[in-house]
Each structure stands twice: as C-alpha cells, then as structure tokens.
C-alpha cells in the first residue's frame, strides 16, 4: 500500500491488490460544502501504455479517467465511471465510507483534500457474500500456489450480492459464464445456499417460451449464447454432485428442460443456427486473438458448431437429473435427443477430407469428441489433429476461451494427460494462468492478454484442476455429496508434494502426497459413513476404503526402493 502524489491536489492510493468493496478514508478538517472526489480503478496506464511481454495492452479510453502526474506525464485510470463524492459538513473527524455502493478497485485517486492523505487513514474493506472456506490447496510450486490464491480471491471478489457477477465494476451482472468455476468454487467454498439462490434467479428470468436472458437476476442488455442460460442445467447437477441434496434437481429440472426444448424449437433438421447475430449467439468467448481488443470473434460456423455440441451437454445434464429422480421416460428421451443432435451436428460441420470441424483450433476438434458428436470411426484422426494443434501449432499453450478452457482442461485430466495441463499454471509464457500471475495479476483477467477488466469471471476456473487434478479429489455420481468419491492425484512435472482438503457433508477429506526419487506416498483421510476409491499412479492399482486414515505407496517404473 502506498500513496503517490499526482499534482494539482490529487493523490493516488495504491492498495496493492484488486478487491471488491469500499474505502474507509479518515478526512482532515474541511470547510462546510467542500467536495472531495474519489475515483476507483482496477488498473493504471502510465502515459496511456502498459507494456507486456507480448506487446502493449490496448487502452479502452472510454472506461478511463486521466490525470496529470507531477512529472508532466498522464495516468489513465481504468475506473468504469466509479466515482464517489463527499460533501463536508465542516465537522472534525469526518470519515468517508460509502456503504450504499461498492467498487472493484486497486487504485483510488482522491482530489479536493487540503493535505495529502496518510496511509493509516485509508483502509480498503473487502465486502462479499458470507461463504465459509471448505477447501484448501497448496503444493511445492510457488507459481501454482499463486494461481490458486488469485483464483480464490477472484471468486470472493465476484460474489457480492448473493450471486456471482462477471465483474464488480463495469457491468456487475450475473452472467451465465460463471459456470466455468462451478467445480472449483463448490469444492473450495460452502456455496450451497449461494448457488441455490442464484438458480432461483435463473428460474425467475426464464420466459414462458423457455428462452431466457443471459444474466440473472434478469436485466436487459448483455450478450451471451446457449451456454449462458444453460447454467440452469449444469449448475444444479454440479450442486448435487458436491452437496448431495436432490431437492436442487427437483427445483430446476423443469426449467432446464423448458430451456432445451426452446433451443430445439429453433433448430432446423436438428441443427441450431445463429438466430440473433452480434452478441446473441456467442460460443467460446475471448480465446487468444479472438477477444474484444481485436474484434476477430469466432465465425458464425464456429459458434454454431460450439453451441450444437453444447446442446448435447444440456441434454446430458437433463438426462442425469431425470435418471436420479426416477424420471426414466425423460432420461430415455434425453438419450434419444443426444444421439439425434450428434448425428445432425457431425453431418453439418465435419470436413472429412481434413478430419476437422470448421476451424483448426483446439476446442473445435475437442468439443465434438467430448460430446460424442464425432463418430467412433473418426475419433482417432480428429484427436490426432487436436494434439498436433495443442503441442505443435500452439507449442503446448491453450488457444481456448473461457468455456473452452474448462473443457480442454477437464478432458486432459479425465484422460490422464495432466502433464499437458501443468504448463498452463506453471509456465510464465502466454497464454495461461502462469502468465497472468507472472505479469502482476492479483485477480483473474477478462482476457488472457490482460485487456480490459482486471477482475473477471472468464478464466476463474483455475481451481477446478488444482482440486480435481493435482490433489485428485473428485466426486462420484454414484455417491453424491462425497458419500462416495475418487482420489486420483496427477503426479506430473516437478511437483514434489500437494496438500489439499475438502469439507464435504460427511466431514473432511484430506490428501497429502509426496513424490521423491520415484517413490509416491499418499496420505488420505476418509470421513465417517463414506467410501473412497484410491487410484494410484505408477502401479495402476485401485483401493476401495471406508472411513479412516490411510497411507499408500507406489513406485515409478524403473525406480528403486
């Protein structure tokens, strides 16, 4: 925390980290009617520039206010019109603290004071929805730990007002893209009631024909696509897996079904086409080089492929909910609809001569495979091209946007290719979470390159893999709420140890593993009345255990005792 004189009676207070909340500022003696203005910003562009290893970040001047510095230069503060005014009553001991509004900020420019503020007189107060921590993660790599800390802090910054927002300053709306962090947030925070309330907002936002806004609580404006309201299908299912209460499925199944039926009604020959254009049919938003700074958004065909694959996922979640609730007829219908959409999507978008769909980018190879759109006869060829795209064309870096990144990481983890994920966290190269924290991110950015919002939901999915992959704590649908769960640690790279826990409905699940000189040692705590499947690296053995404290060991092939 520091105070920087700007000249002309202005001072910048830099709190060192972005946060959501408000400022408490003890004021000096002021005259009656004297006005003090405060400008809240999430970043500063000195002289309108912010150099990075990949070039200057573009300044969105419409979101900035500019002030001269004492050295004659100009600072552009990205403040999104977050401004407060204090009108003095002329009394001694006055304090500014706007409890009727909040801001997303790191920097506060204060103007109108007769003297410089003192550090001890300025306090930034974090304001958030009350959610207890029920998870923790740490490992031997400090950059990976920093990614976790930044991700968890971001989730807290986005959770004011009993619903998650895209950002706490520019739009402040409950966008459906917050689906990207369901797994990590539900593992790390006691967010059961928080999400129950938000799913209710989505039910309220739904129109009689099944369509919905892209944000909830409902408000006009804001772009999105089929995945945004689709959280009414995925969200309750993830909630059930993590917290174990089937009531959440009962509350939301009919609304999820109505939304999917609405999408089906807009399809022709089982293929959903772009019906709105612009910001009404988004697919994989803000992939590298396809962000708002370039305007080079995914093509119509790319969005159509993405959203038709997503329709398969929507029916899959509805089928899961229906099967759990004993709605066998609906579960059968869901399976039938999935098959029909798969066949139609493959026929509409597959380029057989090049073994690809619409674009040579990672998610457009991978999402059709994940959703079963790609027939078994073509899977090997499509996956070969996917891995070539990832490892050779992109040199091991993701080229995915916010939703695509979640499914890219999930697929690599579920297929045992976690070694390809670790560089996203560990490497300082662009793009990736490691790049963000290496370049000063204190909260997750809106785009991989740092353009625009510095406190955003888009890539706040980093904790998903840290809990499920490196720590290996995974829910089992056959025993929701971690009645039954899987421990399957990813032992990759130079990670020497991991410690993590999750406090589920049955108690604490803890994992501590080490790997030194080829010897893997795993300590696990299984809470009462629950069962764990321990899937060991190296020897491939699976151990089924009940409640208790256990130690397991295995040897890397070729190592010695």
Strand, helix or coil for residue 299 = coil
Whether residue 539 sits in one domain with residue 407:
no
Can you give the pLDDT at residue 275? Answer: 86
Q: What is the pLDDT of residues 314-371, one digit of tens each?
A: 999 999 999 999 999 999 999 999 999 999 999 999 999 999 999 999 999 999 999 9
- One domain for residues 288 and 179: yes
> 101-121 burial by CB neighbour count: b if 16+ within 10 A, else e?
ebbbbbbbbbebbeeebeeee
Percent of the chain with pLDDT over 70: 99
Q: Which residue has the higher pLDDT, 279 or 52?
A: 52
Quick check: is 192 in a domain? yes
Element (H, E) at 487: strand 484-487
Q: Are residues 261 and 382 in the same domain?
A: yes
User: Helices 247-265 & 328-349, crossing angle to 10 degrees?
Assistant: 40
- How far is residue 56's CA from residue 461's CA, in Å, rounded to a whole number? 26
Q: Of 91, 126, 161, which one is at a domain's C-terminal end?
A: 126
Give the end of a domain, one of 463, 497, 524: 463
- Count of domains observed in the chain: 3
The pLDDT confidence band at residue 561, using thresholds 50, 70 and 90, is very low
- The domain that holds 533 is classified in CATH as 2.60.420.10
The answer as to whether 478 is a domain residue is no
Amino acid 559: pLDDT: 59
Q: Is 475 within the bounds of a domain?
A: no
560 lies in a domain? no
199 and 178 housed in the same domain: yes
| 261-288 average pLDDT score | 93
Identify which of 468, 520, 459, 460 has the alpha carbon closest to the alpha carbon of residue 491: 520
Structure-block tokens of residue 439:
């370049």
Mean pLDDT of 271-282: 87
On whether both 66 and 142 belong to a single domain, the answer is no
Whether residue 289 is predicted with pLDDT greater than 70 in this model: the reply is yes
Domain's final residue, options 62, 93, 126 = 126
Determine, yes or no, domain membership for 522: yes
> For residues 426 and 160, which has the higher predicted lDDT (pLDDT)?
426
Per-residue pLDDT at 220:
74
- In this model, does residue 276 exceed pLDDT 80? no
Q: What percent of the chain has pLDDT over 90?
A: 95
Region 449-462 average pLDDT:
98
Residues 429, 347 share a domain: yes
Threshold 0.85, pTM exceeds: yes
Are residue 180 and residue 318 in the same domain, yes or no? yes
DSSP track, 377-391: HHHHHHHHHHHHIII
Digit-coded pLDDT (tens) for 371-395: 999 999 999 999 999 999 999 999 9
pLDDT for residue 538: 97
Helical (H) or strand (E) element with 34: none
β-bridge partners, 25 = 96, 122
Please state, in angstroms and as integers, the Cα–Cα distance from residue 244 to each residue in 237, 250, 529, 546, following that order: 10, 13, 14, 18
Chain centroid, CA 103 distance in Å: 20
Considering only CA atoms, which of 261, 256, 179 is closest in space to residue 460?
A: 179
CA 431, CA 423: separation in Å to the nearest integer? Answer: 10
Are residues 141 and 20 part of one domain? Answer: no
Pairwise CA distance, residues 498 & 519, whole Å: 14
Same domain, 502 and 382: no
In this predicted structure, the answer to whether residue 560 has a pLDDT above a threshold of 70 is no
467: pLDDT strictly greater than 70: yes
DSSP state string for 191-227: -HHHHHHHHHHHHHHB-TTS-B-SBSS--S-----TT
In a shared domain, residues 107 and 220:
no
Q: Which pLDDT band holds residue 284 (cuts at 50, 70, 90)?
A: very high
Q: Calculate the average pLDDT of the chain.
A: 97
- The helix/strand/coil state of 453 is coil
What average pLDDT does the segment 434-444 reach? 99
Q: Is residue 468 part of a domain?
A: no
**CATH code at position 68:** 2.60.120.260
Domain contains 561:
no
How far is Cα 99 from Cα 101, in angstroms, rounded to an integer? 6
Do 77 and 176 belong to one domain?
no
Q: Is residue 312 part of a domain?
A: yes
**Which one has a higher pLDDT value, 99 or 319?**
319
CATH number at residue 225: 1.50.10.10
Measured on CA atoms in the order 164, 167, 168, 170, is the torsion positive or negative?
A: negative
Q: pLDDT for 506-551, tens place per residue?
A: 999 999 999 999 999 999 999 999 999 999 999 999 999 999 999 9
Q: Range of 23's domain? A: 2-126
> Is pLDDT above 90 for 138?
yes
Tell me phi and psi for residue 265, to 5 degrees. Answer: -70, -20
Checking if the pLDDT of 225 tops 60, the result is yes
pLDDT at 102 over 60: yes
Range name among 220-224, 303-307, 451-455, 532-536 with the lowest pLDDT average = 220-224
| 393 and 246 assigned to the same domain | yes
């Amino acid at each position: 925390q520091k105070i920087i004189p700007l000249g002309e009676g202005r001072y910048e207070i830099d709190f060192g980290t972005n946060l959501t909340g408000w400022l408490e500022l003890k004021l000096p003696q002021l005259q009656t009617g004297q006005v003090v203005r405060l400008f809240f910003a999430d970043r500063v562009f000195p002289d309108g520039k912010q150099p990075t290893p990949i070039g200057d970040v573009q300044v969105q001047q419409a979101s900035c206010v500019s002030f001269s510095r004492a050295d004659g230069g100009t600072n552009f503060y990205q403040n999104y019109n977050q401004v407060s005014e204090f009108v003095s009553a002329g009394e001694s001991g006055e304090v500014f603290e706007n409890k009727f509004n909040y801001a997303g900020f790191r920097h506060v420019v204060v103007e109108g004071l007769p003297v410089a503020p003192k550090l001890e007189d300025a306090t930034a107060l974090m304001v958030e929805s009350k959610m207890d921590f029920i998870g923790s993660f740490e490992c031997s790599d400090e950059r990976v730990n920093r990614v976790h800390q930044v991700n968890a802090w971001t989730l807290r910054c986005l959770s004011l007002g009993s619903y998650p927002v895209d950002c706490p300053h520019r739009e402040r709306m409950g966008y459906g893209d917050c689906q990207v962090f369901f797994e990590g947030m539900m593992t790390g925070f006691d967010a059961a009631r928080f999400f129950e309330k938000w799913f209710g907002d989505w039910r309220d936002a739904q129109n009689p024909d099944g369509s919905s806004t892209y944000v909830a609580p409902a408000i006009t404006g804001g772009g999105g696509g089929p995945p945004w309201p689709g959280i009414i299908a995925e969200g309750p299912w993830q909630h059930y897996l993590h917290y174990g209460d089937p009531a959440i499925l009962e509350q939301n199944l009919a609304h999820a079904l109505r939304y999917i039926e609405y999408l089906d009604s807009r399809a022709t020959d089982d293929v959903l086409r772009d019906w709105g254009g612009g910001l009404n049919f988004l697919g994989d938003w803000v992939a590298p080089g396809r962000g708002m700074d370039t305007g080079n958004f995914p093509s119509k065909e790319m969005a159509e492929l993405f959203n038709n694959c997503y329709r398969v996922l929507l029916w899959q979640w509805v089928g899961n909910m229906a099967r759990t609730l004993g709605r066998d007829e609906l579960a059968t219908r869901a399976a039938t609809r999935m098959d029909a959409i798969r066949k139609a999507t493959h026929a509409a978008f597959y380029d057989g001569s090049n073994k690809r769909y619409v674009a040579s980018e990672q998610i457009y190879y991978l999402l059709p495979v994940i959703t079963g759109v790609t027939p078994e006869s073509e899977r090997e060829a499509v996956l070969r091209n996917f891995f070539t795209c990832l490892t050779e064309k992109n040199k091991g870096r993701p080229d995915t946007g916010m939703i695509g990144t979640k499914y890219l990481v999930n697929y690599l983890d579920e297929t045992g290719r976690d070694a390809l994920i670790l560089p996203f966290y560990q490497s300082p190269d662009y793009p990736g979470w490691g790049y963000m924290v290496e370049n000063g991110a204190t909260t997750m950015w809106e785009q991989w390159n740092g353009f625009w919002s510095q406190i955003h939901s888009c890539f706040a999915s980093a904790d998903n893999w840290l809990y499920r992959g490196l720590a290996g704590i995974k829910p089992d649908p056959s025993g929701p709420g971690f009645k039954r769960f899987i421990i399957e640690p990813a032992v990759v790279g130079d990670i020497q140890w991991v410690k993590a826990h999750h406090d589920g409905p049955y108690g604490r699940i803890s994992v501590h593993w080490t790997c030194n000189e080829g010897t893997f040692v795993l300590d696990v705590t299984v809470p009462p009345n629950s069962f764990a499947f321990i899937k060991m690296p190296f020897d491939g053995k699976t151990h089924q255990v009940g409640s208790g404290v256990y130690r397991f060991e295995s040897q890397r092939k070729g190592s010695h005792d």
